Chains A and B, each alone.
Chain A
Amino acid sequence: MIHINITKPLHTADGTIDLRVNKEIHKGDFLTLFGKSGSGKTTLLRIIAGLETPKSGTITVDGEVWFDSEKKINLSPQKRNVGFVFQDYALFANMSVRQNLEFALADKSKSKKVDEILEIMEIQNLSNMKPQELSGGQKQRVAVARTLMTNPKMLLLDEPLSALDSAMRLKLQDELHAIHKRFGITSILVTHDISEVFRLCNRVFKISLGEITEDSTPSKVFSNQNISGKFKIVGEVLSIKKSDILYIVEVLANNEIVKVTGVQSDIKNLNIGDKILLSSKAFNPILTKI
């Protein structure tokens, strides 16, 4: 159990606002921080990691005090033992994959751990390569592997997949899901990709101007429509074309393009690139064995 009760002034393009968080995060949660740029998502991750200091408040993790402004307690990032994955990988360019992983080991005698993690992440074949020889997806897999070297209490993921193409993003989403399932590490993800939230997370904090305005499951936060349909897919609008008196909306969902019909009023406020929820009743889909 993680309890965070902190404030921190945020200097944004719209002036100074206060980041105020008073929340409990449960062990094993896969939590998304969702909100516009400048709303305080990354700052909150950095505060948890110990890379930034709140103005006031407390952070306790499993009963251990990481931060207490009154008692002047502020554990260093190393002592907090969290894994932090960034969009830009932050690997050491002059070290091989194996050396990057070894570097993260607190106890160098446990080099067996390197082989174990290389195997879990299925990157044994990359172990002697340097970061510049790797693709974006491979680099991010190594960055995730490196965080696992220290058996972290928490994984903090700051838009880790946003620089990758959609096929690689889906693959790494599956891997993050598998890692979370295997190790049960409490994970906090910053992302703007709603389908990613649905694939990975059980809980979402929606942040606006430093305040958490919603705290619920992905389907409650993003389908505030709360429609009774049982067949729900989140997708992105690729195109809208008029066809006879209807409109055909092409939607990218789970890496596939689906076409859905709508009328003028359905597409009135719809733009290319918008995220949408497709829903259909449980009665409509036809089951065919393949």
Chain B
Amino acid sequence: MNILPANVTKITKSDSFILLELACGNSIFTSLVLESSESDEYTLGENVNILFKETEVMIATPDSKVSARNSFVCPISDIEMGVLLCNIAFDFDSYIIHAIITKNALLELECEKGESFRWFVKSNEVSIQKI
């Protein structure tokens, strides 16, 4: 699981949905969550963790336009090759983000260690962990 510490900077509600903007270092993440009576309300300035699975992270070339709000261009620090899958590690500020994609996709994008690529994750795949 990718885990990043963050701070709630904006809360927008619409019916049952809550769109949270979260600052992690100089980067802004967004997370779409469903309102729940049992979860405590989010408050501005609250420190939380951002969670998303490695298998939810997608990759594109740096100049690609994507709909995902959480989209960042970072250098690849490592690539672990499996048979069907591969695990790509990105240097994201002082954190490491892992993306697990199929090996075929990696070969097609010609990802290599040291090169910069775009990694992204949709807002509805980002969970919030209260701390």
Number of interface residues of A (CB under 8 A): 21
Say yes or no for B58: interface residue by CB 8 A criterion: no
Interface status of A178 (Cβ within 8 A of chain B)? no
Q: Is B14 an interface residue (CB 8 A)?
A: no
Which residues of A sit under 8 angstroms from B81, Cβ to Cβ?
245
B127 and A227 form a contact (CB under 8 A): yes
Does A24 interact with chain B (Cβ within 8 Å)?
no
Given contacts A245-B80, A245-B87, contact A229 B127 (CB under 8 A): yes
Residues of A within 8 A of B55 (CB): 246, 261
Q: How far is the CA of A244 from the CA of B80 in the complex (A)?
A: 11
CB-defined contacts of B63 to chain A, threshold 8 Å: none
**Using a Cβ–Cβ cut-off of 8 Å, how many residues does chain B contribute to the interface with A?**
28
- Residues in A neighbouring B98, C-beta threshold 8 A: 263
Q: Which residues of B contact A125 (CB under 8 A)?
A: none
With A266-B1, A283-B124 already in contact, the answer to whether A227 and B85 are too (CB < 8 A) is no
> Which residues in window 236-290 of A have CB below 8 A to B?
244-246, 261-263, 265-266, 279, 281-284
Contact B38 A217 (CB under 8 A): yes
**Interface residues of chain A: helix, strand, loop or mixed (majority):** loop
List the A residue with the shortest CB-CB distance to B86. A245
What is the bound-complex CA distance between A263 and B89, given in angstroms? 13
Contact of A263 among B36, B86, B100 (CB under 8 A): B100
Please, which residues of chain B bring their CB within 8 A of the CB of A244? 82-85
Chain A residue contacts of B32, Cβ below 8 A: 283
Nearest CB of B to A117, in Å: 35
* Min CB–CB distance A271 → chain B (angstroms): 18
Distance of A230 Cα from B83 Cα, bound (Å): 33
| B129 interface neighbour in A219, A226, A245, A261, Cβ under 8 Å | A226
State whether the Cβ of B105 lies closer than 8 Å to any Cβ in chain A: no
B34 at interface, CB cutoff 8 A: yes
Given A263-B98, A281-B33, A283-B124, decide whether A219 and B38 contact each other with a Cβ distance below 8 A.
Answer: yes
Task: Return the contact of B125 from the options A219, A261, A281 (Cβ within 8 A).
Answer: A281
Chain A residues whose CB sits within 8 angstroms of the CB of B38 once the complex forms: 217, 219
B103 to chain A, nearest CB (A): 9
* B interface SS class: strand
Pairwise interchain contact A245-B100, C-beta atoms closer than 8 A:
yes
**1/0 contact string of A209-238 vs chain B (CB within 8 Å):** 000000001010000011111100000000
Residues of A close to B83: CB separation below 8 A: 244
B127 touches A279 (CB 8 A): yes
A246/B85 contact (C-beta < 8 A), A227-B127, A229-B127, A279-B127 known: yes
CB distance from B104 to the nearest CB of A (A): 13
Contact assessment for A228 and B39 in the assembled complex, using a CB-CB cutoff below 8 Å:
yes
A245 with B82: CB separation less than 8 A: yes
B34, B36, B100, B124: the one contacting A246 at CB < 8 Å is B100
Q: A246-B85, A246-B100 are in contact. Are A281 and B130 (CB under 8 A)?
A: no
CB distance from A16 to the nearest CB of B (A): 37
Given contacts A226-B129, A244-B82, A245-B80, contact A265 B1 (CB under 8 A): yes
Q: Mark B65-89, 1 if CB is under 8 A from A, else 0.
A: 0000000000000001111111100
Contacts A/B (CB < 8 Å), 17 sampled: A226-B39, A227-B51, A227-B128, A227-B129, A228-B127, A228-B128, A228-B129, A245-B81, A246-B55, A246-B85, A263-B1, A263-B54, A263-B98, A263-B100, A281-B127, A283-B34, A283-B125
Measured CB to CB, the residues of B under 8 A from A are 1, 31-34, 36, 38-40, 51, 54-55, 80-87, 98, 100, 124-125, 127-130
List 12 extra interface pairs beyond A227-B127, A246-B85, A284-B125, CB under 8 A. A227-B51, A227-B130, A228-B39, A228-B129, A230-B34, A244-B83, A245-B85, A262-B1, A263-B100, A281-B34, A281-B127, A283-B34
